[in-house]
C-alpha cells in the first residue's frame, strides 16, 4: 500500500489544491509534502514487507498491470523526491505567485508523476508517469517563468516528448518479445534472451535517447540551460534536483538490465559523449555571468559523470551513481536556494553586478561555501563519497579499453568545476560591495533553517554515508546480476 | 438493420418537424430525442434484438465491429447535438432540414459499416456524401460556403465515378462475376492486373473520402468554408464512417492478398502524415489548423490497414471514438468563438477557465499525451503495426510527425494559458460547460481504461 500512498497523496492533494484559496493552498501543499515524506520514511525503514508492493490488473488485454513497488533503485530517489518538496516549499515560502493555488496544485501533481516514475514496475505504467511528470512542469515553467519562458519550455517539451516517443517504440518492441506478452519489469528483464544482439544494438538507442534528453547528455542538452534559466526557481529545483534523475534512473532500471548487450556495445560511444559534454559544459560554465545558467551547466557536467560511471558497469561505480543521485539532488537544490535568495534580495542574477556579500550576509556566505565545496566534491562532503566511488568504478572498468582516458578527462572537469564555483564565490561574496549590494541584509531565520538543514545533510552523509550504502546495496547487486557480472 | 431503418425514418420525421414546429429550440429537442432513440436502437441491435427482419440476401452483414462502430457514431452525434444543436439550427432558415440531413448521413454510415457487397458500399458512401454537399452549402448567403459546397460536390462526384470504375473492374476480375466481398479475391483472379487496377481505383476513391494525402486537396477549403458546426460533424463522424468502410473492404475482401496492396497504403500514409502535420504548423486560423490536423490524424488511422489484426480493429474503434469526441469538443468551443485565429484564444484561461481546461484536454488527446484517450488510440495503432514486424520505419516516421503535431496543438494551449488577451464575450450556458467537462472526463476515462470500450467487441450475445 505504501507506493500507492506515495503516488496517491500528492495526486489527490494536488487536485484538492486547485480548489483552495491561494494562502491555504500553500500550507496545504507543505502539509501534503510532509505527509509524503513521512510515508516514504516509513516505507524505507520497512524491509521485505508485502506493504511495499502493489499490483492489480489494469489493461488486461494488453498485459499491463498497475504494478508499483518501493524497491531497488527507486527507493533512494523516492526518498530524495519526498525530501525535496518540503525543502522547496519552505525555501520559497515568501515568493508571491499569481494564482498560487494553481501553482501548488501543479507542483504536487509533478511530485505524483515523479513518484510514479520511480515506483512503477510495469513498463506501460512507467511510460504513463514519465509523460505525466512532464505536463505539470511544462505548465509551471510556462506560466510562472521569466520573459522568454514560452519558447524555452516549449523547446524542453518538444525535446523530451520526441525522446519519449522513441522510447515508446522501444517498449512496444520489447513487449512483443516478452514471453506471454507482458509489460512487467521482470518480464522485460528476461526479454533480451529473445532479442538478437544486432537488434539490441539499434533498440538501445530508441530507449536511450529518451533518457539522454532528460539527463541531459551532449548533444541532447540544448534545452536545459534555457529552461533552467527561464523557469521560476522552485520549478528549476524540481527540474534539476529530481527530473534529471529520471534519466539516470531510467538507464539503471529500464535500459542497462533490459538490454545488456546493447549497453555493452554502445558503452564507449555513450561514454565519449559524456566526456565531451562534461568538458564542454564546464568550459561554458566558466564563462557564464548569469548564476542560474552557470549552475545549469555545472549540472550537465555532474550528470555526465554519473552516466559515464553507469556505462563502466562496475559495482563500485554503480553504487557511486546511486549515492551521487541523492547527494547531487540535495546539493543542487541548496545551490538553487542560494541563487533564489540572492535574486530575491538584489533583483539580479548577474555575477558581474554582485560583490561583497560576505560582509553583509555572513550566514548565507558560510552556507553557500559549504554547498559549493560539496559541489566540487571535497572530502568530508557528501558528494565526495559518490564521486570517489564513481571514479574508482570507471578506473577499474572491464568493459572498456579506454578506462584510463575516461578517468583522467573526467577528473579534469572536477578541477574545472572548482575553477568556476570558487570564482563565483569570490566574485559574488568577496571583494568590495557596490551600489546593488550596499544595502544587503542577511537571510531570515526560516531561510537559515532550510539551508542549515541542507548543510547538515551534506556533512552527515559526508562523514557517515553508511545508510546510503545500505539503501542502495540490494539494487546494485540485482543490477550486476542482470548484467552478468555476478553469478 | 435497426439503425438503418430508424435513422432513415428519423430523417423524414425531422423534415416534417421543420414544418410543424416553429421554434428552433423545440426542433433541437426533437433531434436530441431522435438520436437518443437511434442510439438505444443501435445498442439493442448489438445485444441481439432485431426489430426489422429484412432479408438483405447477404448484401449486408451485421457483425459486432460494425454495430459497435454505429453506436459510437450515434453517441458522438448525441454529444454533438447536445453541445451544438442550437448552433446547427441557427445556420439558416430551415433548421429541420439540417437535422434531417444529418440523420440521413447516419443512415449512410450504418450501411457503410455493414456492407457485404460492393453495391452496398457504393450506396452507403453516396448516402453519406450527398447530404454533406448540401450541409456544406447550408450557409446560403456566405460565398465561402457556396464555393466550398460546389468544390466538394465536383470533387466528390468525380471520386464517386472512380469508385464505380473500380467496382466494375473488380466485378470483371472476380472468378464468379460477383459483387460479394467473399467472392472477390478467390481463385486465380486474386492479384490479377485487372483486380489490382480495380483495387487501386477504389483505394483512391476511399482515400479521397477520408481525405488522405495526396487526395486531400479539397479538405482544407471545404472544412474552412463550411459553417463551423457542419465542419465539426464532417471532420469526425463522417470521416470515421468512411474509414470503417475502408477497413471493412480491405480487411474482409482483400486481407489475404495484403502483401500486394499494403505498400500503396504505406505510401499514402507517409504522404498523409507528412503533409497534414507540416502544413498544419503554418496555419494562422485554428479552424484551418484543425482541418489539416484531421488529415494528419487519418495518417494514424491508416495504420489499422497496415496492421489488419485484432489490435488494429480494437484500435480503430478506440481511435474513432476518441478522435471524434476530442474534435467535436474543440469545434464546439470554436463555434462560440468570434475570432478563429490563434490570437483569438489569447488569455481565454483567465476568463473562461472551464473552456480553457477542457480544450486543453481535447488538444492533449489529439496530440496523444498519456492519460487521455488519444494516447491509447495511437498506442493501439502503433502496436498493431509493430506486431506484424513490418513497417517499423513507418512507425518511427509517424512518431516524428506526432512530435510535430505537438507544435501546433500546443500553440492553442499557449495562447489560452500563457498569453494576455482582450476581454471577449462568449455565449456559454452552464449546461454547455457541464457537457464539456463530461466530455473531458470521458476522454480521460478512455485513456485510463480503454477496455471499457474495447471489451464490447468481444461480448457475445445470443
Residues of A in contact with B411 (CB under 8 A): none
Residue B183 has phi, psi (to 5 degrees) of -90, -10
SS3 content of chain A, % helix, strand, coil (to 5): 75, 5, 20
Task: Go through A199-232 and write b for each residue having 16 or more CB atoms within 10 A of its CB, e for each that does not.
Answer: bbbebbebbbbbbbbbbbbbebbebbbbbbbbbb
Candidates A340, A382, A348, A347; CA nearest to A364 is A340
Q: How confident is the model at residue A445 (pLDDT cuts 50, 70, 90)?
A: confident
A469 close to B (CB below 8 A): no
**Which residues are CB-contacts of B401 (< 8 A; sequence separation ≥ 6)?**
B273, B274, B276, B277, B296, B299
Residue % of chain B over a pLDDT of 70: 98
Domain count, chain B: 1
Q: Tell me the shortest Cα–Cα distance from A227 to chain B, in angstroms.
A: 16
B403 burial type by CB count under 10 A (0-12 exposed, 13-18 middle, 19+ buried) = buried
For range B300-305, the mean pLDDT: 92
The answer, for B379 touching chain A at a CB cutoff of 8 Å, is yes
CB contact under 8 Å between A61 and B451, yes or no, is yes
Helix, coil or strand: residue A55? strand
Give one DSSP letter per residue of B223-237, joined into a string.
HHHS-HHHHHHIIII
Question: Cα separation of B180 and B177, whole Å?
Answer: 9
Specify whether the backbone of A313 is left (phi greater than 0), alpha (psi in -120 to 50) or beta. left
CA distance B250 to B247: 5
Nearest to B403 among A131, A158, A176 (CB): A158
Contacts of residue B132, Cβ cutoff 8 Å, sequence gap at least 6? B101, B105, B152, B156, B234, B238
* Closest-CA residue of chain B to A159: B403
Q: A29's torsion region: left (phi>0), alpha (psi -120 to 50) or beta?
A: alpha
pLDDT at position A440 is 77
Is the pLDDT score of A201 beyond 60? yes
Q: Which one-letter DSSP state was computed for residue B140?
A: T
Per-residue pLDDT tens over the stretch A211-222: 999 888 888 888
**Centroid of chain to Cα B161:** 22
Q: How confident is the model at residue B461 (pLDDT cuts 50, 70, 90)?
A: low
Q: How many residues in total does chain A contain? A: 487
pTM, entire model? 0.92
Closest CA to A161 of B402, B323, B298: B402
Range in B165-174, B185-194, B234-243 with the lowest mean pLDDT: B185-194
Q: What is the pLDDT of residue A1?
A: 81
DSSP β-bridge partners for residue B137: none
User: Could you tell me if B253 and B185 are in contact, meaning their C-beta atoms sit under 8 angstroms apart?
Assistant: yes
Name beta bridge partners: A65: A57
Is the separation of the CB atoms in B239 and B211 below 8 Å?
Answer: yes
pLDDT at position B340 over 60: yes
Mean pLDDT of chain A: 88
CA distances from B14 to A11, A434, B21 (A): 48, 81, 10
Cα separation, A108 vs A102, in Å, equals: 10
Q: Which residues pair with A290 in a beta bridge?
A: A350
> Which DSSP category does B188 fall into?
G
Segment A112-136, tens digit of pLDDT: 999 999 999 899 999 999 988 889 9
- Positive or negative: CA dihedral A243, A248, A250, A253: negative
> Looking at the partner chain, which of A150, A173, A176 has a beta carbon nearest the beta carbon of B418?
A150
Residue ranges of A 155-174 with Cβ closer than 8 A to chain B: 157-158, 161-162, 165-166, 168-169, 172-173
Q: How far is CA B276 from CA A39, A473, B149, B211, B326, in A?
A: 48, 51, 22, 10, 18
Partners of A176 on chain B (C-beta within 8 Å) are 386-387
DSSP 8-state assignment for residue A403: H
pLDDT score of B316: 92
Phi, psi of B18 (to 5 degrees): -65, -30
Prediction ipTM score: 0.90
What stretch of H or E contains A66?
strand A64-69
Q: How many CA atoms lie within 13 A of A417 on its CB side?
A: 29
What's residue B69's pLDDT?
92
Question: Which residues in chain B have their CB less than 8 angstroms from residue A59's CB?
Answer: 449-451
Q: Residue A67: phi, psi to the nearest 5?
A: -115, 120
Q: What is the mean pLDDT of residues A16-21?
A: 86
Q: In this complex, is the C-beta atom of B126 within 8 Å of any C-beta atom belonging to chain A?
A: no
Adjacent-strand bridge partners of B341: B285
- The winner for highest mean pLDDT among A339-348, A350-359, B18-27, B310-319 is B310-319
Each residue of B413-422: b (16+ CB within 10 Å) or e? bbbbbbeebe
Residues of chain B contacting A177 with CB distance shorter than 8 Å: none
Interface test with A, best of B281, B345, B357, B370 (most A CBs within 10 A): B370
Q: What's the domain range around B271?
A: 2-458
C-alpha B418, offset from chain centre: 32
- Of B252 and B269, the one with more pLDDT: B269
**Are B148 and B133 a contacting pair, CB within 8 Å?**
no
Hey, what's the torsion of the CAs at A75, A333, A310, A301, to 10 degrees?
Answer: 170
* B313-332 residue pLDDT tens: 999 999 999 999 999 999 99
CA distances from A135 to A244, A328, A462, B424 (A): 15, 24, 35, 28
Amino acid at each position: 500500500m505504501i507506493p500507492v500512498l506515495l503516488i496517491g497523496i500528492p495526486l489527490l492533494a494536488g487536485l484538492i489544491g486547485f480548489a483552495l484559496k491561494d494562502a491555504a493552498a500553500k500550507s496545504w501543499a507543505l502539509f501534503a509534502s510532509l505527509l509524503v515524506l513521512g510515508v516514504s520514511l516509513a516505507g524505507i525503514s520497512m524491509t521485505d514487507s508485502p506493504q511495499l508492493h502493489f499490483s492489480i490488473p489494469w489493461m488486461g488485454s494488453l498485459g499491463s498491470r498497475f504494478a508499483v513497488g518501493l524497491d531497488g533503485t527507486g527507493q533512494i530517489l523516492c526518498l530524495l523526491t519526498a525530501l525535496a518538496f518540503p525543502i522547496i516549499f519552505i525555501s520559497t515560502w515568501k515568493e508571491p505567485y499569481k494564482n498560487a493555488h494553481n501553482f501548488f496544485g501543479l507542483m504536487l501533481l509533478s511530485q505524483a508523476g515523479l513518484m510514479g516514475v520511480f515506483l512503477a514496475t510495469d513498463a506501460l505504467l512507467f511510460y504513463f508517469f514519465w509523460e505525466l511528470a512532464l505536463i505539470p512542469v511544462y505548465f509551471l515553467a510556462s506560466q510562472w517563468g521569466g520573459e522568454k519562458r514560452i519558447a524555452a519550455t516549449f523547446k524542453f517539451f518538444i525535446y523530451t516528448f520526441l525522446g519519449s516517443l522513441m522510447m515508446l517504440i522501444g517498449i512496444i518492441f520489447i513487449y512483443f518479445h516478452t514471453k506471454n506478452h507482458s509489460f512487467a519489469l521482470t518480464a522485460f528483464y528476461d526479454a533480451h534472451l529473445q532479442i538478437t544482439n544486432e537488434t539490441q544494438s539499434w533498440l538501445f538507442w530508441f530507449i536511450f535517447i529518451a533518457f539522454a534528453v532528460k539527463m541531459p547528455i551532449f548533444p541532447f542538452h540544448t534545452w536545459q540551460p534555457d529552461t533552467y534559466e527561464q523557469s521560476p526557481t522552485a520549478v528549476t529545483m524540481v527540474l534539476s534536483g529530481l527530473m534529471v534523475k529520471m534519466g539516470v534512473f531510467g538507464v539503471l532500471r529500464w535500459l542497462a538490465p533490459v538490454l545488456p548487450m546493447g549497453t555493452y556495445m554502445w558503452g564507449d560511444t555513450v561514454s565519449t559523449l559524456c566526456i565531451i559534454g562534461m568538458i564542454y559544459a564546464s568550459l561554458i560554465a566558466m564563462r557564464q555571468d548569469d548564476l542560474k545558467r552557470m549552475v545549469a551547466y555545472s549540472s550537465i557536467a555532474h550528470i555526465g559523470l554519473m552516466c559515464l560511471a553507469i556505462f563502466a558497469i562496475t559495482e563500485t561505480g554503480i553504487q557511486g551513481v546511486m549515492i551521487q543521485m541523492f547527494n547531487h539532488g540535495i546539493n543542487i537544490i541548496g545551490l538553487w536556494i542560494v541563487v533564489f535568495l540572492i535574486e530575491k534580495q538584489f533583483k539580479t542574477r548577474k555575477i558581474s553586478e554582485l560583490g561583497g556579500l560576505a560582509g553583509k550576509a555572513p550566514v548565507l556566505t558560510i552556507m553557500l561555501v559549504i554547498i559549493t565545496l560539496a559541489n566540487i566534491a571535497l572530502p568530508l562532503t557528501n558528494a565526495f563519497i559518490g564521486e570517489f566511488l564513481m571514479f574508482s568504478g570507471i578506473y577499474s572498468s572491464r568493459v572498456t579499453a579506454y578506462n584510463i582516458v575516461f578517468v583522467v578527462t573526467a577528473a579534469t572537469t572536477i578541477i574545472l568545476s572548482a575553477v568556476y564555483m570558487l570564482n563565483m564565490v569570490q566574485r559574488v561574496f568577496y571583494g568590495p560591495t557596490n551600489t546593488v549590494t550596499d544595502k544587503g541584509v542577511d537571510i531570515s531565520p526560516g531561510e537559515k533553517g532550510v539551508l542549515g538543514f541542507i548543510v547538515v545533510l551534506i556533512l552527515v552523509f559526508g562523514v557517515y554515508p553508511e545508510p546510503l550504502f545500505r539503501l542502495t546495496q540490494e539494487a546494485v547487486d540485482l543490477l550486476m546480476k542482470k548484467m552478468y557480472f555476478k553469478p | 438493420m435497426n439503425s438503418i431503418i430508424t435513422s432513415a425514418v428519423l430523417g423524414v420525421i425531422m423534415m416534417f418537424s421543420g414544418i410543424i414546429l416553429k421554434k428552433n429550440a423545440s426542433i433541437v429537442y426533437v433531434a436530441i430525442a431522435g438520436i437518443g432513440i437511434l442510439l438505444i436502437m443501435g445498442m439493442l441491435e448489438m445485444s441481439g434484438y432485431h426489430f426489422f427482419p429484412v432479408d438483405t440476401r447477404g448484401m449486408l452483414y451485421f457483425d459486432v465491429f460494425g454495430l459497435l462502430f454505429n453506436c459510437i457514431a450515434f453517441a458522438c452525434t448525441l454529444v454533438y447535438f447536445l453541445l451544438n444543436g442550437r448552433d446547427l439550427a441557427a445556420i439558416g432558415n430551415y433548421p429541420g432540414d439540417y437535422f434531417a440531413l444529418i440523420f440521413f448521413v447516419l443512415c449512410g454510415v450504418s450501411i457503410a459499416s455493414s456492407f457485404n457487397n460492393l453495391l452496398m458500399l457504393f450506396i452507403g458512401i453516396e448516402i453519406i456524401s450527398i447530404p454533406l454537399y448540401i450541409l456544406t452549402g447550408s450557409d446560403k448567403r456566405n460565398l465561402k460556403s457556396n464555393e466550398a459546397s460546389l468544390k466538394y460536390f465536383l470533387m466528390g462526384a468525380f471520386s464517386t465515378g472512380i469508385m464505380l470504375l473500380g467496382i466494375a473492374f473488380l466485378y470483371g476480375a472476380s472468378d464468379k462475376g460477383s459483387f460479394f466481398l467473399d467472392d472477390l479475391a478467390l481463385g486465380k483472379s486474386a492479384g490479377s492486373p485487372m483486380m489490382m487496377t480495380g483495387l487501386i481505383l477504389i483505394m483512391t476513391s476511399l482515400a479521397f473520402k477520408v481525405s488522405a494525402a495526396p487526395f486531400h486537396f479539397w479538405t482544407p477549403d471545404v472544412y474552412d468554408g463550411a459553417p463551423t458546426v457542419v465542419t465539426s460533424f464532417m471532420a469526425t463522424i463522417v470521416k470515421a464512417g468512411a474509414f470503417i468502410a475502408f477497413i471493412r473492404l480491405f480487411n474482409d475482401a482483400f486481407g489475404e492478398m495484403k502483401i500486394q496492396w499494403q505498400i500503396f497504403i504505406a505510401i499514402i500514409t507517409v504522404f498523409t502524415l507528412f503533409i497534414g502535420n507540416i502544413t498544419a504548423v503554418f496555419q494562422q486560423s485554428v479552424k484551418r489548423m484543425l482541418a489539416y490536423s484531421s488529415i494528419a490524424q487519418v495518417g494514424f488511422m491508416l495504420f489499422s490497414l497496415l496492421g489488419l489484426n485484432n489490435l488494429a480493429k480494437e484500435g480503430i474503434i478506440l481511435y474513432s471514438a476518441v478522435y471524434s469526441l476530442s474534435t467535436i469538443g474543440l469545434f464546439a468551443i470554436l463555434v462560440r468563438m468570434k475570432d478563429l485565429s490563434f490570437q483569438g484564444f489569447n488569455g481565454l484561461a483567465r476568463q473562461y477557465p472551464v473552456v480553457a481546461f477542457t480544450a486543453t484536454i481535447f488538444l492533449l488527446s489529439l496530440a496523444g499525451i498519456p492519460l487521455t484517450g488519444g494516447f491509447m488510440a495511437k498506442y493501439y495503432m502503433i502496436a498493431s503495426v509493430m506486431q506484424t514486424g513490418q513497417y517499423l520505419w513507418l512507425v518511427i516516421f509517424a512518431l516524428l510527425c506526432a512530435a510535430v503535431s505537438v507544435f501546433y496543438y500546443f500553440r492553442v494551449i499557449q495562447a489560452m494559458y500563457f498569453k494576455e488577451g482582450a476581454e471577449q464575450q462568449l455565449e456559454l450556458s452552464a449546461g454547455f460547460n457541464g457537457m464539456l467537462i463530461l466530455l473531458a472526463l470521458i476522454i480521460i476515462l478512455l485513456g485510463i481504461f480503454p477496455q471499457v470500450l474495447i471489451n464490447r467487441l468481444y461480448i457475445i450475445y445470443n
